[in-house]
Structure 1
């Protein structure tokens, strides 16, 4: 039987990013930092009543319920690993029929509970690009399963049967282009296409409560414009235009799908405006640098947010976003003829090692760099040494030192996950696991 890719039955669905993107991280709240990304993989344990009609449960991904006199609307369903508990908590608040499920986008930490919440008469709403986005995720399910497992310290799965190019299960019964609206129990729901985190992203606006459900287009960290597990381009200008659309509604409550909600018109406007302006600043600085002939690594080093726009980097990170913007616009080719060809720079690393006097000699330099705090340079040097001698103990020890140095410094959950992955792999080669 062909395995069907869906947030319900995929064995690693609870590791999808968004996340958080497909970015995407295990969230308590992006405004909090953590020593270990896995520590954030916790289920919401209580209902938060935003007002008399809106309730939510937080977790890896939040689940929202909007009550009406004619039934309830569920907005996002969290990750499959958490969805049952979220449903139990919200159903204790109100057991009315589920008339609609609205998916802000197709990441697994938003769609994971669809089949748990769906009733025979439930309509499921998504933006029309949802179908292609789900097919894209299914198309690369094996790739992302390995990436997610690596980032979140899970067992690497055995390759499954390929679902094909169009093998995803499409759950929504209503797909719309720019805008969709309905009224339930006297409450109007307006749904707008707001691409950003994904191209199928939407925002739910409930005018009666001045409430905007914004999915992953806002959280309390610089956004994951590029996510390390891999993603299609996330266009900075899409984020900006979508946030402007939300601001034009003049919301008094903003409910992101990760972390806590924002309340109060002034606070909402301040937070969203600052967030938008931070993205705009980074985008425009990258474009200016590109037009001035600067390479991507120079821009990654040079561009910093001014203090008044510093929204934090506990989830997304500026340097990754800068590279994502740059290569999203023009691709990987850097005008160096060597990069046109299939032989990578690493193909001549063994020759460099020979010239340096052997892998031990390169490893000594790497350890010196690591001990001096130049951990990234040390990693590059160990790449060179290990290309010539994959089991060289001195190179592996220098690599471990560099990775642990970087982990001790980092305050970003995604970065921490990949450093932990590298540390575990290196310790395994040293026989330390």
Structure 2
């Protein structure tokens, strides 16, 4: 009886049973990913621990003879304080050094919580903050709006599951996504490819590793055979392009950085997010698979580019081999292969797709008016959009609604159709950032 009632409710609400099941499957997969960042302090080697799930980013501690090294610091001082309380259960030694794997605020915002009476060395790559530099120099601000959409900051808690590689959190400072406060700034910098340092009786190596950012580095701790990858690794397909908008990320250099990590004899791999990987064989396999996936996206995209394919054609042409696509740590919870294809094209060739029709295309309104004429008028176009929505052809419904909104930005019917289409797309979307973006824009359209 309950199944009958449930099915009837779906029919009455205009949602098919099949679509609801798909939505449940996608939602459940994303919910299941939450086991990767449940709160815990994980021992990965002797005197090496990682705090997972207390903040969006992992925070690691290496205990030396007379002090501690902290690798990344979480998103906020509150997060950092909770983590330091956990670390103090393991050691009361002073923090001698803080190392930022890169400048994203979810890795740097908690730094002040780890400061003691003695100011520690604070290490970072010499390009620290280079991602945000062009935005600031150019006077951009809209990336904050897009960042909030990607992260789901404007969604109510019941609509947020997680962020694919991290728990859902709401930042306390203004909408500056991935920007850090000024409580702490780096005092020491990695210049060149790599540098060995000894701090607190701990010998570690800092290695330049461009990937998710150009200021990325990884930390190699040879005594414990632990590699701290920063955001060049986490248990998801990598975010080769962030839909919030970002300067170009080189898929080629990212693959090379992963190769450097794979060349170590690590027995533990600590990513910037999600649970660590344990065991020499598993670590090697994971890093090789991760590198091969990124390298494949690069090489196959270049192959398609050399065939004259456009970005839209390339995302159909480039498909990860099943032996990689099926890996649990390469599922598209955070990044997506299609976005890696597009960013690789853009990295090498820029915005022009090679089709001369797109050199000086019609403005959106002019194109939409012609499409409406072909459809038999705006009412017919609206009818087609409604039919597409009813048939669960949701991408097409959204695109038809875009034409209607190009003709009349205040068309309430078109807004509703697009909002409904985006909501249905989100229900079938396992990628957390795309899901958040769909749902946020749907809410904006309904406001």
Q: Same fold (TM over 0.5)?
A: yes
The answer (yes or no) to whether the contact 1:359–1:386 under 8 Å persists in 2 is no
1:6 corresponds to? none
Deviations 1:183-232 (A, max 9, x none): 23543111110111111100101110011000111112211111100111
1:370 corresponds to? 389
1:319 corresponds to? 338
Match of 2:294 among 254, 262, 279: 279
TM superposition shift of 1:34:
2.8
Match of 2:50 among 52, 56, 75: 56
The answer (yes or no) to whether the contact 1:124–1:173 under 8 Å persists in 2 is yes
The answer (yes or no) to whether the contact 2:333–2:432 under 8 Å persists in 1 is yes
| Structure 1 position 172 matched with structure 2 position 186 | yes
The answer (yes or no) to whether the contact 1:360–1:395 under 8 Å persists in 2 is no
The answer (yes or no) to whether the contact 1:66–1:73 under 8 Å persists in 2 is yes
| Structure 1 position 268 matched with structure 2 position 264 | no
Structure 1 CA distance for aligned equivalents of residues 409 and 108 of structure 2: 42
Match of 1:113 among 100, 110, 113: 110
DSSP-derived class of the 2:198 partner: strand
Q: Under a length normalisation based on structure 2, what TM-score does the superposition of the two structures give?
A: 0.80
Structure 1 CA distance for aligned equivalents of residues 287 and 106 of structure 2: 23
Structure 2 CA distance for aligned equivalents of residues 68 and 137 of structure 1: 39
Match of 1:70 among 57, 66, 74: 66
1:17 corresponds to? none
Out of 347-356 and 90-99, give the one that drifted further: 347-356
The answer (yes or no) to whether the contact 1:217–1:243 under 8 Å persists in 2 is yes
2:230 corresponds to? 215
The answer (yes or no) to whether the contact 1:131–1:170 under 8 Å persists in 2 is no
Structure 2 CA distance for aligned equivalents of residues 135 and 115 of structure 1: 23
CA RMSD of aligned residues (A): 2.9
Structure 2 CA distance for aligned equivalents of residues 383 and 58 of structure 1: 41
TM superposition shift of 1:423:
1.8
2:101 corresponds to? 104
The answer (yes or no) to whether the contact 1:240–1:279 under 8 Å persists in 2 is yes
Structure 1 CA distance for aligned equivalents of residues 183 and 349 of structure 2: 33
Unaligned runs of 5+ in 1: 1-31, 429-433
2:22 corresponds to? none
Structure 2 CA distance for aligned equivalents of residues 169 and 121 of structure 1: 12
Q: Under a length normalisation based on structure 1, what TM-score does the superposition of the two structures give?
A: 0.82
2:120 corresponds to? 122
Structure 2 CA distance for aligned equivalents of residues 337 and 317 of structure 1: 28
Structure 1 CA distance for aligned equivalents of residues 134 and 272 of structure 2: 22
| Structure 1 position 398 matched with structure 2 position 417 | yes
The answer (yes or no) to whether the contact 2:37–2:273 under 8 Å persists in 1 is no
The answer (yes or no) to whether the contact 2:364–2:406 under 8 Å persists in 1 is no
Give the direction of change, closer, same or farther, for the CA distance of 1:248–1:152 in structure 2 (3 Å limit). closer
1:19 corresponds to? none
Deviations 1:98-139 (A, max 9, x none): 100001001111111122213443000011111534534655
> Number of paired residues?
389
1:239 corresponds to? 254
Match of 1:333 among 335, 352, 360: 352
Structure 2 CA distance for aligned equivalents of residues 215 and 400 of structure 1: 36
